[in-house]
Amino acid sequence: MERTDAALLAAAQKGDREAINELLVRHQARVYRFGLKMCGGQEDAKDVLQETLLAAARNVQAFRGASSVPTWLYAIARSFCIKHHRTSKFAPEHLESLDAPASDAANVSDSAGGPEDAMSRDQVRSTLSTAIKDLDPMYREVLVLRDVEGLSAAEVSEVTGLTVEAVKSRLHRARVMVRQQVAPLLGMGEPESRSPISTCPDVLALFSKRLEGEISTDVCAQLEDHVRRCERCAARCDTLRASLSLCRQAGQEGVPPRVERSVKDALRRFLESPA
């Protein structure tokens, strides 16, 4: 029977090195995906993963379980991502800090098909990856943690140190920006509407807020009524729903074998070294 995170953590804190290894390997894909989307390349993501797992192994005794193990690991990984941005020789001269204040700035079918279908799916995924990469880091991290990795807004708040309200504010902006880039490839054109655009509510922001439980029952009912009557707004909501589905699919990616072997060896060497 597979041991729970709590059981592995308890054993790890008693000095069980196999438990430490099992616990960290269990969550390595999460850390790798976060590093990949925040730092942009496999080598950088490998470094973030390795540094995060070694730091967690080194400091497991200090972890008191106030948050979940994944949330703890994301917080460690985030610190290494920030460090990477500050020290990389390839970083732009001016880069917004992850800690900087915010500026004013549907399900997608994945069934087997022919080569053209596969090419289309690959193009959509590539566009999604680019859209996420193009976000400012302060927007990117909340979208990756919430919509790709599936953390709650409260857990994202724990990782980033932001208030839940700030997390949600950045998340709504990030979702709309990603949807804008992905929508043209989803085959969900926005039909013409008899009503002028100026009379329509901001359905994308409202839809995103609805997902986070931020609008009242009355406002939700008004939104649903408008979407039923306005094909253009219904299509816009469908493309946002589809882009969120793509984000969830991106949260299933694993660690490349080459990276996994390298990190596994580094972790094993650390765990086998004299205390």
Residues in the chain: 275
Q: Note the pTM of the prediction, 2 decimals.
A: 0.84
In the chain the first and final C-alpha atoms are separated, in Å, by 30
Q: Which of 24-28, 94-98, 229-233 has the highest mean pLDDT?
A: 24-28
pLDDT tens-digit map of 134-177:
999 999 999 999 999 999 999 999 999 999 999 999 999 999 99
Third-level CATH fold of 115-250: Arc Repressor Mutant, subunit A (1.10.10)
pLDDT at 148: 96
Lookup result for tokens 């994301």:
74
Third-level CATH fold of 5-92+254-272: Rna Polymerase Sigma Factor; Chain: A (1.10.1740)
Three-class DSSP category at 167:
helix
Where along the chain do its domains lie? 5-92+254-272, 115-250
pLDDT at 197: 57
Residue 96 confidence (pLDDT) above 50: no
pLDDT at 40: 82
